[in-house]
Structure formats: structure tokens, C-alpha cells
Amino acid sequence: MHFHYQKDSGLSLEKSLSVEWLETNGLGGYASSTIANCNTRKYHGLLVSKLSELPDKYVLLNTVEEILVHDDKKFFLTSHFYPDFFQDGGFSNLEEFKVTTHPAWDFKLPAQDLVKEILLLHEENTILFKYTANGKSSCKIILRPLFSCRDFHELQRENTSLDNEIESLANGFAFTPYKGLPTMFFQTNVKHNFTPEPVWYRNFIYTKEKERGYDFSEDLFSPGIVTFEFGEKREIICACSTVRQRKDFHFKWQKELRHRVESIPVVDRSSKFQKQLHASGQTFITKNISNKKTQSIVAGYHWFLEWGRDAMISLPGLTLYSKQEELCLAILKTFANEEQQGLIPNYLGINRDANAYNTVDASLWFVWALQQYYLKTKKFKEVATYFWPTLKNIFKFYKEGTLYNIKMQDNGLLYAGSVEVNLTWMDAMVDGKPVTPRYGYQVEVNALWFNMLGFMNELAHKMKDPVEQELKQLLPLAKSSFCKTFWCEKKGYLFDFVNMEEENSALRPNQIFAVSLPYSPLLIKMAVSIMSAVKEHLLTPYGLRTLAKNEVGYVGFYNGTQAERDQAYHNGTVWPWLLGHFAEGLLKVTSDRRKVLSVITPCLEALQKHLREYGLGSIAEIFSGDDPHSPDGCISQAWSVAEILRLTYLLNIK
């Protein structure tokens, strides 16, 4: 899909500041801002990079102040919020913004049209800018690069620690901002004039951070200005990079465009919507910057990193429907290699010691992802050779007990966590305490556990592994205990969790997995009743609410301070990724595919429209539970894209 926004077709300033574009480089790095060329988040930047030996991402090049000078008049092409002033150049001079293979801005100026394009290079921490002039009269363009050079969660103020020694190069300049960060190179392919002028620009305001209750003001450092004359040479290409550029920039530009066209997954007879989701899905696939043989999945842009639970839920949708089975296998190996005491890491750090293992379900979702790979490819040998030892380790440690009180009980079910610790995907914390405490027997954890037992039993039978006898005995016990423990006869659906203190009957979507997973412990009448309740009380056009509106604690809007947003995060907020398993559950309880389509099609139509409204070409992390279901959270979320894509194939929608 191509995206076009034109002034004469109703593009407003508000819209230009709310729609965000994203470029990624396959190493976890990105470039991102708004249509108006105005950074509204601390996470926005033109070169945000994952660096070796550092845990987070770093906003290096924040933005470039662009000024076109014609007949001694200055025309700004960027926009900024200051405490008492909005500099509007990025919108007021804009005629059209479009994304085809990459973002491009068409500026309409007196006696001169100017097109600006951006390319973030694949597997490099390098961004290219191209400016193309169309006009009969000469002009010049002044660029002032503005750098943050800080962790993407932090903000920078003017300081004396920054080294402002600037090195002039034949084709640009270089400087090393801080010890431990790379040298920054700003270079060009044409004749120019660089004027060293190290200076701090103060008090840039990030309006989205202000709305979210975070610090929102930053100072940016500029090493100087680069000036170009637009004479006979009507095209300029510049690069900002962590490595010195030696190749012809025009060649690199064309090479990157070819890569983008050639790397788009080729999927037969897919719709425009599916093609866009496939393309968006590729932005989450990353290689380790220190070891490019290791591949993983970024959970979401801008601020999420490589999380095990998110990666495993996303993996089938991102790979198995676009002829990328080998990629799926490689990422499964990445996480299998990091397993410890039966636990797949919840978070991949820069090394094994930095991994976080604080989750009960990442290991179980790993098994589901492997199961999906097996069901799609039928490659039993690969599953048995590479992953059977990992599966047996998960089973052994979960059965006998591992970290965080994760242990199978005598009834065959998993018990996990404590009052202070949340181990499920509903893991928001406020003041060090879980917002949705769900310790004990959690319904989705035990649905995943039962599914794992069934899948392992299937494999063990084929392998003639003695563990089959143990699994055969355990399966009927777990099935009986699941129904006995979780079925709430009074409400006609499943308890969300059960522990020594309570049987929690709040209507949440976690129970759908007991229906949707390949091995289900439920009686069919239970499954039908569950899906009916979820459809009636949790379904919205953008996904499932995390809590029914009539339940105590429901929060209809996701806004306010971080604490207020965390209170809403799993207490009514809508998550699109749940639609995949919801649709799969519906298919299991009805033989009439048309009925399922009548339920799901309005959601797909709403989400297709959403592709133009928030994170351009992608699906947001969350939406508010109440109308108008405003999008929020990450502008582009891996499991949102992956599960919506997967459900289109489950339902054979073209």
C-alpha cells in the first residue's frame, strides 16, 4: 500500500502532527517523526541506533533544521514546539507527503519546488537524505544537524561533558560527543560549505511526552551548518552515520531502493491489506548488531526491545505466511539457546547474564510457536533435532519447580507467582505493586500448559521417547483439573485465576486461549458459552477489551500520567493481538465460516482504516476501551500486526 497526504485533500496541521512515519534498519534501529517534520516524542529521531555493548537504543541524530533561501527570504522546512512558540515550517510549506518505498515530502515554495526523501540503510546505522529542486531560479539550502546522543528513554540538557571539538572533513564533518558513544559523521556527495559553529539549542518541547506525564523538554547540540548552492546540480544527498562513508551516495541510495523492493515478502494472491501487514511485519525482524547470525523480534516501536513472550506470540504470523520458515526456525533457535531452568527469557539483554527470566508464559508461548512451525511445515526432524531437549527441560522444571514459585501441583496444573510478582502478560506495576495481581492458577497459563502437554505427547509418541507414558497419564488429570478449577457455572465462563484466597470471576479475555489453542481441555458446551460471553462484553472494532465494562475497576480511556495509564493498561484497554485467538476460537465453536466473517470483517475494516491514522502502515499496541477507541501506546506493535495477519489467513480473507 502507498500512503499519500495532500494539503488540497484535507491534510490539516493536527493530522500532520499526529500521524507518525517509521523507517527501520534490521538491527533494531529506526528513524521516525511526524508528517510535519516535528518531533513530538523523545523517541523520535532521524538516527536512533542499537549500539554494541549498550543495553538500550540511542537517539543520535535528533533532527535536521532545513532552511531554503531564495531571494534572501528564508523558508523553514521543519517544525518545532518551544515553550511559548510553534515554529511551523514543516506543514505550512508542505504540499504533499507520501510513503512508497520510503518517506518523501514535496514542498511548494515561491519559484522553487523541493522534494526531500529519507532512507535508513539496511543493517547500517546510517541515514541518507536527498533533496531535489525543481525550479528555474537558483537557491541555496542550509542544514543545521541537531544531535541528542542519549539513551532513548532519557532527555538531554546542555552540559559540559559533551566534547564539542569538530573535525572538518573534505565532504562534511565529524565529532565524538561522549566517551562510550561512536563518532558521528555527517557527509555529502556535492560541493558545500561547512561552517563550524558548536552551539546548544534549548527547550525543544515533546508534546506527546507532556501528555504522557513524562519530562518533555530537551536541549540539542549542533556542531555547525552545512550550506549548498542549488545551481546546475539539482540533487543533493547527505548521510549521517556512526561510520565514515566512502562509497558514492547515489550508488548507496539506489542499492537501498533495490533491496527494499527485492526483500518484500512475495505472497501469492494476497490482498493489499495483507501485503501491507507483511511489509510492516518485516520491520520487527532484527539481527544482533554484534552477531548478525542471531535473529530476534523487536516487540514494538518506539520503546520496546526484544521480549520473549511478544516474540513467540508474533513469530508465526510474521514468518509462516510469507514463505519464511527458515527465519522462523532461526528465531526459535535464538530463544531456545537462551533457555535456563525451563524458562525462555522474557527479555533478551546484550548477553546471557543480562537476560530477564521473570515470566511464566514465555516458555509456553515458545512451545506454541514451535507447534505452529511444525503444523505449517511438517518438518518433524528439525523439531526433534533442535528443540526436543528444550521442550523436555521446560517440562521437567515446570513439573518439579523453578523460579518465581512456578511449579506443577498434584492436580496437574501450574501454579505461579505471588502477591508481589506478576508473571503473566498482564504485568503492569504501580508503586511496585501489580495493578492486576493474578498469582496462583492463571487460566491462560494453564491453557498453554495443557496445549504443551498435548503437543509433547504427540512428539514423544513419534520419537518413542519414554516420557510419553508420563504425559499420557498427566493429560487426563490436567484436563479434569482444568475444568474443575476454572469453570464458573454461575457465569458460564472461566475464572481468570484461582488461588488460596479467591476464585476471580472478572470477565477478561485470557480464557479464549483455552478454546483457541490446538489442544483444548474444554467441553464444547463450555467453549461455546465462553466465546459468547467474550463476544458480547469484550469485542470492539479494534480488538478485545482486557476487562468487561460492567466489572469493578474498568477504565474506559487510556490517558493521564504513567500511573493512570498503567491502571488502565489491562483493565479495559483494547489489545488488537487478541483478535487472532478470538477468531480461531470462533472457528472452533461454529461450523459456519460466514458467521465468523460477519463478526471479524468489521474489525478488519476498522484496522485497515487505522493504517493511515497513527503509526503509518502499521497497527498500534492498544486502543481505549470506550468510543472512539483512540489508538495509543507503541505506534507499531509486533503482535498486533502478526496476529491480525495470521487471522486473515485463518479465515482465508483476500
In a domain, 428, yes or no: no
Please give the pLDDT value at position 233.
57
Give DSSP secondary structure letters for 207-239: HHHHHTTS--EEEEEEEEEEEEEESS--EEEEE
Taking 50 as the pLDDT cut, the residues of the chain under it are: none
Q: How many domains does the chain have?
A: 2
Sequence-separated contacts (24+) of 213-219 with Cβ below 8 Å: 213/560, 213/561, 213/562, 213/563, 213/564, 213/565, 214/42, 214/562, 215/42, 215/155, 216/42, 216/155, 217/83, 217/155, 218/42, 218/62, 218/148, 218/155, 218/156, 218/157, 219/156, 219/157, 219/158
In a domain, 547, yes or no: yes
Instruction: Name the amino acid, one letter, at 113.
Output: D
Q: What is the CATH number of the domain that holds 16?
A: 2.70.98
In a domain, 377, yes or no: no
Please give the pLDDT value at position 270.
86
Please give the pLDDT value at position 587.
96
In a domain, 582, yes or no: yes
Domain that holds residue 237: 3-262
Task: Choose the final residue of a domain: 262, 288, 320.
Answer: 262
In a domain, 433, yes or no: no
pLDDT tens digits, one per residue of 99-139: 999 999 999 988 788 999 999 999 999 999 999 988 777 88
In a domain, 495, yes or no: no
- Do the beta carbons of residue 275 and residue 654 sit within 8 Å? no
pLDDT tens digits, one per residue of 229-283: 886 558 999 999 999 998 789 999 999 999 999 888 878 788 999 999 999 999 9
> Which residue do the cell numbers 500448559 mark?
449
Task: Choose the final residue of a domain: 262, 289, 315.
Answer: 262
Please give the pLDDT value at position 580.
98
First and final C-alpha spacing in the chain: 15
pLDDT tens digits, one per residue of 429-449: 898 899 999 999 999 999 999
In a domain, 511, yes or no: no
**Whose CA is closest to 611, among 22, 13, 6, 46?**
22
Task: Choose the final residue of a domain: 230, 262, 294.
Answer: 262
Instruction: Name the amino acid, one letter, at 100.
Output: T
In a domain, 316, yes or no: no
Instruction: Name the amino acid, one letter, at 3.
Output: F
pLDDT tens digits, one per residue of 157-183: 999 999 999 999 999 999 999 999 999
Please give the pLDDT value at position 17.
97
